[in-house]
């Protein structure tokens, strides 16, 4: 039986490939909400719908709505047959959150609250999926990898608002029996990412012979991240959504907690200088860089994160290509689509 899915943030970097994954690999009907901030771009949706095929257009509806506004009766009526909510839309740039935390509180906390309130009016809701980040746990030392229910230690307003929205989701699951799934995700890279992010920004700077800034710790060791390619992430999101009951049962067996939490992460831990070197290698261009251990625009900068994805691996939901292949795929895509830089 076909499902009716509501996806927030569909014009964003992560959301648009979830759209493609759903259109290509299910018969579900999809309604997309986006407020089209600077980070949202309808071209993302247009391009993946074209890639998915003409017939898929009939299964996709888009409408503009800012989740900071309480859903009105028209929206509630329009979404009354929704079975699945995939809440991916969020403000996500750490430096912007430091400069203007008010926007992040409104988008990530109030927006999630309004969507949860909407979910209480959906008689056929089967899943409320909240997409979160590894940053809620704060920095991890050496080989430390956080489990799903480890204590949070937010180091910036962005991660704090994501943690707060998670707690709202947990509260609604426990108070109103909203069937809920929360995932934490490591750093994502790939095609159509906003050029303010590290990898496309580095591609642009090397192409333009500009200096690349590399954040470090106090000993000048470059910051590092676990990376996952955006197409692989989309596959894991769809896997978890389609197999929610199985995932819920397995998670409870291991964690003895409710609602369900799952970590999604790539296996590749790469420091940012090595990322820049791989990009330089693929571009065939040398580059200049500066090491910076204190960024005045980003106090509380975390040098490394780490997630334990044993649960997802045990479920068979890990999709993770070799990092150098992923970087090469990404660089090649931007070379063919320089307007995105």
Work out whether strand 260-264 and strand 180-185 pair parallel, antiparallel, or are unpaired: parallel
| Residue 64 designated active-site | no
* 325 CB-near residues (< 8 Å, 6+ apart): none
Helix (H, G, I), strand (E, B) or coil at 76: helix
Contact 206, 273 (CB under 8 A): no
- Residue 337 CA to residue 339 CA, distance in Å, equals 6
- Residue 24 CA to residue 51 CA, distance in Å, equals 9
How many angstroms separate the Cα of 44 from the Cα of each of 191, 195, 340? 10, 14, 10
Burial (CB < 10 A; 0-12, 13-18, 19+), residue 277, is: middle
As beta bridge partners, residue 8 has: 33, 87
| Neighbouring C-beta atoms of residue 101, cutoff 10 Å | 16
Give which of 195, 211, 203, 228 is closest to 282, Cα–Cα. Answer: 203
Contact 83, 125 (CB under 8 A): yes
Q: Which of 130, 158, 226, 244 is catalytic?
A: 158
Contact 33, 79 (CB under 8 A): no
Helix (H, G, I), strand (E, B) or coil at 276: helix
Annotated catalytic residues are 158
């Amino acid at each position: 039986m076909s499902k009716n899915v509501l996806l927030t943030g569909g014009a964003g970097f992560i959301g648009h490939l979830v759209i493609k994954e759903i259109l290509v690999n299910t018969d579900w009907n999809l309604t997309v909400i986006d407020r089209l901030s600077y980070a949202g771009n309808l071209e993302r949706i247009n391009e993946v719908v074209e890639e998915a095929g003409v017939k898929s257009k009939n299964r996709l509806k888009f409408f503009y709505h800012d989740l900071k506004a309480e859903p009105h009766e028209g929206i509630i009526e329009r979404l009354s047959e929704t079975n699945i909510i995939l809440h991916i839309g969020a403000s996500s740039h750490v430096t912007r959150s430091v400069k203007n935390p008010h926007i992040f509180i409104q988008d990530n906390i109030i927006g999630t609250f309004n969507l949860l309130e909407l979910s209480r009016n959906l008689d056929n809701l089967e899943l409320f999926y909240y997409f979160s980040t590894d940053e809620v746990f704060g920095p991890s030392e050496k080989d430390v990898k956080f489990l799903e229910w480890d204590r949070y230690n937010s180091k910036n307003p962005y991660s704090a608002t994501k943690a707060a929205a998670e707690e709202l989701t947990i509260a609604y699951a426990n108070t109103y029996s909203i069937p809920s799934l929360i995932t934490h995700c490591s750093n994502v890279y790939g095609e159509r990412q906003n050029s303010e992010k590290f990898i496309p920004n580095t591609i642009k700077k090397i192409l333009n012979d500009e200096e690349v800034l590399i954040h470090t710790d106090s000993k000048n060791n470059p910051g590092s991240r676990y990376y996952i390619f955006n197409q692989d992430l989309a596959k894991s999101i769809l896997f978890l959504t389609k197999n929610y009951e199985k995932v819920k049962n397995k998670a409870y067996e291991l964690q003895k907690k409710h609602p369900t939490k799952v970590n999604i992460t790539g296996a590749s831990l790469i420091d940012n200088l090595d990322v820049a070197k791989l990009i330089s290698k693929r571009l065939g261009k040398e580059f200049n860089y500066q090491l910076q251990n204190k960024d005045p625009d980003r106090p509380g900068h975390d040098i490394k994160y780490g997630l334990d994805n044993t649960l997802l691996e045990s479920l068979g939901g890990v999709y993770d290509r070799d990092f150098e292949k992923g970087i090469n795929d990404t660089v090649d895509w931007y070379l063919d689509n320089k307007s995105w830089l």
